[in-house]
A and B are shown apart, each in its own frame.
Chain A
């Protein structure tokens, strides 16, 4: 539900980046969203469409690049995808959460010259 607030921030960053640039139209914004970032893609898109009405970003496609959460097994020294109870599928010991899956950033903005 905090997507309203974060979408405002996202739009602000994009507008700042586009300042002083010469282009016809903004076509696409790529946003990386980790599985554990707490951000719901659909809500982000929903607010993005509403909040960009009447701005230079109106009609821009919001492309979400999802990132899976990876846990790390110290015993096997390997990363694995999140299981129901964080158990390593190989050795069954408990894995640790890592930074993989917590991403939430704008990767790039595409414009038509």
Chain B
């Protein structure tokens, strides 16, 4: 440490002369200031991912001639991966893949619609608005496992849901009703999250834009379609992306609400967990890596196709190129483009 400390000072002193713009110096400073953060990120995110990928090429266990487990990890090449795509394992994998995708698509679509509606309501000026905002956020504040237990009781054979419906639906058995239970519980919990992010997006839209539209004789629906939606699009896309990634990795809700070993709600995460519980860490890691790749692929496609601005640096870049600042908002309004 004692040696390292003076170094930046000296180099900075030297560099001062070469600085071409204040921007560059700030960039350097930012890099230095952020490096501990990156170090931590590498340690807590990068390293586990690499170790997970490494694990997926190894296998543990197997019995020797004496009937005892072979000690240590053995290199297994790509066998953990190829095994996933063979026989009964393949059926289970593709089923989990389908279930994961189904949950993601259905949940995110429903949640986006409801969440946006919530945001529109919360954005209105009315009496008790803060109360409504707070209460809408309660489901989001409850940990998923807790809400899963809560819904488990609601969906009990003699629970509230069946009382209300006047029917005895066995929600926690395998089948479409189990999927519905998961979708309902997930929507209940996370639509407020989308609502919150969209609300933030709504609040930066200046009131004048609506007034101008009103004067031009635009209907409420038209204003929503051509003003609200395009202007809220960046916030909405980020919210949808986050939810998409979360739903793809969904584990606790189906696991607790419906239970393990029910194919209709078995997601890829549950599959990986089941393998690891049975101490097959190699195949478990392989499942996790496949899920990770699927996640990365979808996120990349989402960002590319829909232009979700996750990092928040797309706007200034574009602004620089086109030489007009804050172009994003202006352009969107002018064109009225739709997501």
Q: Do A and B come from one complex?
A: no
Q: Interface residues, chain B, CB within 8 Å of chain A?
A: none
